[in-house]
Amino acid sequence: MQFRKKHLIPILLLLLALALGACQNPTTSKNASPPEASPAETATPAAAPPPTADEGKKAEATAEPDTGFQDVDVPLDKTIFPPEAPAGFAPAERPNSTLGRDDATLTMYEWCDYAYPNCISFNSDILPELQEKYVDTGKLRIVHKEFPVAGGDPSVIASMSAQCAAEQEKYQEMADWLYQNTDAWSKQADVQALKDAIKKGAEGIGLNADDFNACIDNEDSLEAIKQDYYEGRDLEFRELPGFVVDGYLINQGASSNELSVIIDALLQQKETGSLPDTVITVTPSPTPDTDFEDESVTTLGSPDAPVTIVEFSDFQCPYCERFYTQTFAQLKENYIDTGKVRFVFKDFPLSFHDKATPAALAAECAGEQDKYWDMHDKLFGEQQRWVESGNPNDAFKEFAKELGLDADQFAECLDSQKYLNEIQADMQEGIAAGVQGTPAFFVNDQFLSGAQPYQVFQKTIDQILAGK
């Protein structure tokens, strides 16, 4: 496809440069059972390593972590409150693509792409709930911002069409059509066919055809889209939708429940001056202590290796799975198996991945029979198989049989949640070290966030080995 180069090439290059490579953790749990199985959400965190077989030792050792961070005791039923947006960040207003009253108690800016699956779900499932509960009651104003990163050229034109419709005060109608009819516009063979399909949709929602078509053809809305994109890029979204709610940044996506908890907390803060006990704030110090508790079962490589990589991961996280499939094998062959790197896996099951904690328990129970890494590989290698199952424990028990484990011993371990304290202890370590999303890595004392490509690890490790 060819756009008018003087306008669109710069933004398309920026789109190619953006990577949504990790998810951040809005919620963690302690002293709670793993959530019941339910359909998995599309948003995903980064990979995390499993716990050791020495149940209880780490929980005691980390009850009062000796780190450079604020001591944290986070029940898994609490939401980690999001950080503040960067100082001085002031998103441009979009009055024609705004829901709610100007004098609403809170303002939420929302960045999305009409071709992105989580944005489609947000518009159909979450936005109506927010509108009924908060927008229509005067508590919340929602400002939509364009962030065309998922579908390349079609996403840019879709954003243009939404903003052209906004000029006729029909933004939401156009947004609904785009989200509900992605096949009609996103799969067209060329730009003209794409524009024609969208123009036909615009007629169906009652837009003035002459004005809308002129707006699309002249790219009148492109500058506003570029402005929205630059703002979103600076916020470093790990997942979409991305939000700024009353000055607080949610850059990892969020479920309906998590958004409600955060909005309710902010509303209470406005009313009483303090946040409720449903949320917890985690404030890292400038000098984190990365001297994590030793592991045995969840460790690969020589204990004398000059470099240690500690990974905090979530077995249900797509980005963690991406690290496993695209990067881990090369790291193992070139650095772990050669004695240069010791690799430690720690669990960080994110609250919006309902099957991540059961998966971590399954890996730990396999570790009892010296099959931890076999189960680790199977959980990531066949992630879709158990994520889409009605009861993940049934799938894990099938995995155990396929790996040749003692089925009764594995089932008893899994059903009793024997290693839940171990998993919670890993999470406490991660939180105390400032981890908010997965996958997260500590390469000696250097922090890497997200499913970074092999070359990033290679450069970091080689610099450490060279003494730089």
Asked if residue 267 has pLDDT above 90, the reply is: yes
Q: CB count, 10 Å around CB of 428?
A: 22
The sign of the CA dihedral 397, 402, 403, 406 is positive
- For β-strands 23-24 and 437-438, DSSP reports them as antiparallel
| Domain range 22-27+34-74+290-465, CATH class | alpha beta
Contacting residues for 210 by C-beta, under 8 A, at least 6 apart: none
Ranking 63-72, 84-93, 117-126 by mean pLDDT, the lowest is: 63-72
Q: Considering only CA atoms, which of 168, 287, 161 is closest in space to residue 222? A: 161
What tokens were used for 243?
């939000």
Kindly list the domain boundaries of the chain, sorted by start residue: 22-27+34-74+290-465, 95-272
Q: What is the pTM of this model?
A: 0.57
Tokens 């078509």 identify what position? Answer: 213
335-390, pLDDT tens digit by residue?
999 999 999 999 999 877 889 999 999 999 999 999 999 999 999 999 999 999 88
128-173, pLDDT tens digit by residue?
999 999 999 999 999 999 999 876 789 999 999 999 999 999 999 9
Alpha carbon distance 17, 13 (integer Å): 6
Confidence band of 55 (pLDDT split at 50, 70, 90): very low
Alpha carbon distance 359, 365 (integer Å): 10
276-295, pLDDT tens digit by residue?
887 777 554 444 556 788 89
Per-residue CA distances from 2 to 14, 152, 153, 154, 424 (Å)? 16, 12, 9, 11, 51
Q: CB count, 10 Å around CB of 220?
A: 15
On whether the CB atoms of residues 352 and 38 are closer than 8 A, the answer is: no
Same fold, 22-27+34-74+290-465 and 95-272: yes
Q: Considering only CA atoms, which of 250, 42, 19 is closest in space to residue 149? A: 19
Alpha carbon distance 58, 52 (integer Å): 8
Fold of 95-272: Glutaredoxin (3.40.30)
